[in-house]
Structure 1
Amino acid sequence: MAKLFLLCSLSLCSLLFMRACYCLAMPYSHIPCQLDNLTTLEPNHHIVSEGGVIETWNTTHPELHCLGVGAVVKRTINPASLLLPYYTNYLEFHYIIQGEGVAGSVVPGCANRMIIHFRRGDVIASYPGVPFWAYNKGKQQVVAISVGFINSANQLGVIPKRFYLAGNNTEENFNLDHNVFSGLDTGLLEEVLNVNEDIVKKIQSEDPRGQIVKVQGQFTSISSSHQPITTQERNKQQSGYHEACTFKFHENIIDNSSYTLYNPRAGRLSTVDNFNLPILQLLKLSARHLVLYKNGIASPSWDMNGHRVMYVIRGHAKVQVVNSEGNSVFEGEVTKGQVLVIPQCFVATKQAGSEGFEAIEFVTNENSMFVSLVGMHSLLRSIPVDVLANAYRLNPNEVSALMFNQTEGPLVNY
């Protein structure tokens, strides 16, 4: 789980608050991130498909681009509708805001289909080049927010790409881009697939239904099915593929067992990282789910080893973010459907409104660590008394008040 860093020496604090905090999410870039004016971001494109709606954010925005964010996509899948198979050249993390369904991935070298049943609160990991699809098997819409991150595994540089195996690509712009089969020679496909021309034309043809389609008839692919394993496939699994074939790709973040912090008066924080979802060790990502009750406060804290991309699920909150120069780079209200980035090392605090607040945060480290200024194991309680007294010119009573007056934390309420 995410670590609430307990001890912080003065030298470490100095390192954390160096004048410049450089972007670590894009290892191939040596340009420092100048994030002096953060803003809330909303979707720029709204694409209606036969079976749902896709909303996308403009990731060329400096805040997203600088932190290595290659995609932010919200998908609404209607009941009995299917998100058609696609893959990307970047890491992708999905969070299920609402609904239930079935999703699948196709991992090279694995004889079995990788099929999972998802529900509200699940986080699902996708690796570059691995096809992904999802089906809504419930009676209400499935709503999911997905964030993609560009890293050194992406050999196409800073350009995020989605490759569609069916349908047409209209997510990034309003121009019609075809699926990957469309560009291949028809005769060649007939030979390698051993099918007739009519079938090839169907998989190559333009599809006006969009990327989410209504399923006709009964959808039977709702459980893991095992296909016959050949000797070659068995040898592949035994020689290194087996680990990838047995990886778990999803974990529920809102179950009680996943609480990292809990205050019955203020709220709760849950985490999914490489400890409870080992595949995140490969993706170098983790997630946090924050719920603040009415007027609850997430006290000032900063991430030691990762950036945060926060999506607001419900409610609203007052948020303040401070940079290494002690300047407030964001101070305002965030509401449902908005995205806000919080760079590594920047201090952030949140206070919920009268309706409460819920958000999912995607973190660019598989084992993220954060430092809190408030609480029993906070930074202020970990620094020696003499250091605090001389740093802030406090008398002994004032030092004691600073260290021990707040008995709650890091989640508090007044």
Structure 2
Amino acid sequence: MEFNLAPQMADQTVYEGEGGGYYTWSTSVAPFLAQANLAAGKLVLQPFGFALPHYADSKKIGYVLQGCCVVGMISPDSTAEKVVKVTKGDAIPVELGAVSWWYNDGDSDVVIVFLGETSDSNTAGPFNYYFLAGALGMLGGFSADFLAGGFGISVSESKTLFKSQNATVITKLKEKPNITNPANNNRKDLVFNLENALPPVTSKNGGALVSATAENFPLLSRVNLSGNLVKLEPGSMLTPGYTADSSYEIGYVVSGSARIQIVGLNGQLALDDKLEAGHVFVLPKFFVGSLIADTEGMEFVSTVTSSEPKLLRLAGVESVWKALSPSVLQASLNLSSEDTDIFKDKIVETAAIILSKKH
């Protein structure tokens, strides 16, 4: 499969109006998303903005980039609603078919980016949403007599009940509902904060990498996804690595910029480009990718299409080169025994994130 991997900004406005907006990446500008069954969307909620209850034919992780809001979630295997307050740094998985709503009860805008997998979607491309209420509501498509019979109400009542909400995706509430102080006991089940978690990978003056997997966040095993937060200091590098379990990685640049290189089949350079804030990018399965942050540094979040991803590094202390015996390493690279020893020693000294020599 041939990929056009050029990073892209969101190009489609699904909704924008009173209460907020929702934006996506179309397959026309980002065909690699459809090829890999991936999608991305960005939700912006203004104060009192309320994203109407909906479900989707996809699974994803929402990353809270700014502000805080209240989220209601009903799992496909439960009839109980769980309500949780999410804030900057939180990652909240959304299961396939789960019903959710999102409400900004704060005084500033909320920004949430969703990155996920769409192999179960009815159509390739952006996430497909099915709304329970509003002008796009699924029940609004039924005739009044069907609704009356299904809900045990009169035909006239059904016309009023399912036609009174004219909003489509987002509406702005006139007053705060009584859901602004949800109990925190749902957080451990629904939310993983990437900002406050202990980074498994750190580098002095280089940056940090935090991962949420099924091992430290069990809910991810249900959506078969995992999440990452990577922070690179100015000039630091995320060393070359790849997914060894046929999973894809889709990332969103939160801030800063970096140079990205991706190498694919036959050692061919598949991408050499600049990543900037707002860009979505993809690392195809088994391709090798690496980043070098620019002078202002860089931060990105990413979703991997596996709950227990196998990410292997070709450089750094976890490099597969380190595992090779000296004789195999020497023969593979056509090195002298002395150069082979030096190379092995250098690998041991470096981490997955390293500071550029010029810094």
TM-score norm. by structure 1 comes to: 0.78
Deviations 1:201-241 (CA, angstroms, capped at 9, x unpaired): 3443385544121111222123558xxxxxxxxxxxxxxxx
User: Using the alignment, how far apart are the partners of 1:284 and 1:109 within structure 2?
Assistant: 16
Deviations 1:63-110 (CA, angstroms, capped at 9, x unpaired): 1112111x3210110112111111011212211111111101123564
Aligned to 1:118: 86
Does structure 1 retain, via aligned residues, the 8 Å contact 2:115–2:251?
Answer: no
Q: Say which of 350, 357, 374 aligns to 2:298.
A: 357
Does structure 2 retain, via aligned residues, the 8 Å contact 1:105–1:115?
Answer: yes
Aligned to 1:134: 102
Deviations 1:122-168 (CA, angstroms, capped at 9, x unpaired): 111112222111111222211011123123xx384757631111224
What amino acid is aligned across from residue 360 of structure 1 in structure 2? Answer: V
Q: Where in structure 1 are there 5+ consecutive unaligned residues?
A: 1-32, 169-177, 226-244
Q: Say which of 31, 34, 38 aligns to 1:62.
A: 31
The answer as to 2:58 corresponding to 1:90 is yes
Does structure 1 retain, via aligned residues, the 8 Å contact 2:85–2:182?
Answer: no
Aligned to 1:188: 146
What amino acid is aligned across from residue 99 of structure 2 in structure 1? Answer: P
Aligned to 1:330: 271
| Larger mean Cα displacement after TM superposition, 263-272 or 277-286 | 277-286
Q: Say which of 386, 389, 395 aligns to 2:330.
A: 389
Residues 111 and 130 (structure 1), Cα distance of their counterparts in 2 relative to 1, 3 Å cut: closer
Does structure 2 retain, via aligned residues, the 8 Å contact 1:51–1:213?
Answer: yes
Does structure 1 retain, via aligned residues, the 8 Å contact 2:105–2:176?
Answer: no
Aligned to 2:175: 217
Aligned to 2:118: 150
Q: Per the alignment, in what secondary structure is the counterpart of residue 143 of structure 1?
A: strand
User: Using the alignment, how far apart are the partners of 2:172 and 2:10 within structure 1?
Assistant: 24
Residues 374 and 155 (structure 1), Cα distance of their counterparts in 2 relative to 1, 3 Å cut: closer
What amino acid is aligned across from residue 142 of structure 2 in structure 1? Answer: L
User: Using the alignment, how far apart are the partners of 1:381 and 1:109 within structure 2?
Assistant: 45
Does structure 2 retain, via aligned residues, the 8 Å contact 1:100–1:138?
Answer: yes
Residues 335 and 155 (structure 1), Cα distance of their counterparts in 2 relative to 1, 3 Å cut: closer
User: Using the alignment, how far apart are the partners of 1:139 and 1:264 within structure 2?
Assistant: 36
Does structure 2 retain, via aligned residues, the 8 Å contact 1:181–1:203?
Answer: no
User: Using the alignment, how far apart are the partners of 2:95 and 2:133 within structure 1?
Assistant: 19
Q: Per the alignment, in what secondary structure is the counterpart of residue 96 of structure 1?
A: strand
What amino acid is aligned across from residue 133 of structure 2 in structure 1? Answer: A
Q: Aligned residues: percent identity?
A: 22
Residues 196 and 264 (structure 1), Cα distance of their counterparts in 2 relative to 1, 3 Å cut: farther
User: Using the alignment, how far apart are the partners of 1:99 and 1:53 within structure 2?
Assistant: 15
User: Which is richer in strand?
Assistant: 2
Does structure 2 retain, via aligned residues, the 8 Å contact 1:112–1:224?
Answer: no
The answer as to 2:128 corresponding to 1:161 is yes
Q: Per the alignment, in what secondary structure is the counterpart of residue 266 of structure 2?
A: coil
Residues 214 and 66 (structure 1), Cα distance of their counterparts in 2 relative to 1, 3 Å cut: same
Q: Per the alignment, in what secondary structure is the counterpart of residue 248 of structure 1?
A: helix
Paired residues, number: 349
Taking only aligned residues, the RMSD between alpha carbons, in angstroms, comes to 2.4
Q: Where in structure 2 are there 5+ consecutive unaligned residues?
A: none
What amino acid is aligned across from residue 412 of structure 1 in structure 2? Answer: I
TM-score norm. by structure 2 comes to: 0.90
Select the structure with the greater relative contact order (CA < 8 A; seq sep ≥ 6).
1
Q: Say which of 214, 233, 251 aligns to 2:192.
A: 251
Does structure 2 retain, via aligned residues, the 8 Å contact 1:59–1:72?
Answer: no
